[in-house]
Homo-oligomer: A and B are copies of this chain.
Amino acid sequence: MEKKTGKPRERNKDKSKKQFLDAVGKILKTKGYAGLKVNDIAATAGLDKKLIYKYFGGVDQLIDEYIRSLDFWSNVSKEDMPVITDGGEAFAKQMLVEQFDYVGNNKELQKILLWGLSEKRKSLKRVYDEREAVGEGLFTGITDPYFGDKAERFRAVTALLVSGAYYLNLYPTNAKTFCGIDVTTEEGRNEIKKALEMLVELVYTTAPATIRSRRNH
């Protein structure tokens, strides 16, 4: 029986659980992981903290469930991947630039990345493992075959570029410029993107001839 009398106050476990999970996300985005205190979460959710212990068992489990609900990498990989005819050069460029912007526009992901650098936590590790898994699929499927015995080298390059893109997005907490480039402005960010594309291009165009010949294979 569904009753929607006046509005005496809702009483719905599932909705309340969601309110707590949403509160975690909100606090994370604004104050970062260090702001995730029981009292604050309860206050943000507009419910009593006791319910956190009832429904989740504790703050830690609530946080873990929140983290488990995240899914930053599912959009990547199989989807927007056209036919690869250039060994993945265009794809790699697009991917790196997109990652750079994606992190830049996603405060939640920024905080998660920072959290992952700061605190050891099983549920966080899973987020990174999933990204690694997605990346592994792209490497083995696209670039490893192209670069052959230099595959590891290309992975190291990508590691540097991706992690650089991450760091530069986390960087503007105290200072704004890195190597003289203001990473908070559109101009500065465009410089970074152009550098990303140029580096990918350089790595692809100077791959060993014996390997590059596979392009027409």
Contacts and interface: CB of A to CB of B under 8 A. Distances in A.
A120 interface: yes
- Number of this chain's copies in the assembly equals 2
Interface string A9-37: 00000000000000000000000101000
Given A179-B158, A180-B139, A202-B206, A153 B191 contact: yes
Interface in A158-205: 158-168, 170-171, 173-175, 177-181, 183, 191-192, 194-196, 198-199, 202-203
A210 interface: no
B128 A175 contact: yes
29 contacts: A34-B34, A117-B117, A117-B167, A117-B170, A117-B173, A118-B173, A124-B174, A125-B174, A128-B175, A132-B175, A132-B178, A139-B180, A153-B191, A153-B194, A155-B181, A156-B181, A157-B198, A157-B199, A159-B181, A159-B195, A160-B196, A161-B164, A162-B179, A163-B178, A164-B164, A166-B167, A198-B203, A199-B199, A199-B203
Interface of A: 32, 34, 114, 116-121, 124-125, 128-129, 132, 135-136, 139, 152-153, 155-168, 170-171, 173-175, 177-181, 183, 191-192, 194-196, 198-199, 202-203, 206
